[in-house]
Amino acid sequence: MLKWALIFFVISIIAGFFGFSGVSAATATIARVLFGIALVIFLIFLVLALMAGQAVL
């Protein structure tokens, strides 16, 4: 789970870079949406990974 959380974190950082750097208007809008979605998925997987880690301990 933590692996997926890190993958979505990297995706959100890359999308955020393109979305907030002003590359292109259409591309920036799509990248901002992807940034938000990937960031939410990252947080969900991070919480699930931490909960699974607590269950094992």
3-class SS string, the chain: CHHHHHHHHHHHHHHHHHHHCCCCHHHHHHHHHHHHHHHHHHHHHHHHHHHHHHHHC
* Residues sharing a CB contact under 8 Å with residue 12, sequence separation 6 or more, in sequence order: 34, 35, 38, 39, 42
> Domain coordinates of the chain in residue numbers?
2-56
What does the pLDDT look like over 30-47, one tens digit per residue? 878 888 898 898 889 888
**Stronger pLDDT, 14 or 21, i.e. the higher one:** 14
Q: What is the pTM of this model?
A: 0.57
Which residue reads 């909960």 in tokens?
A: 51
Task: Report the half-sphere exposure of 29 (CA within 13 A, side-chain side).
Answer: 2
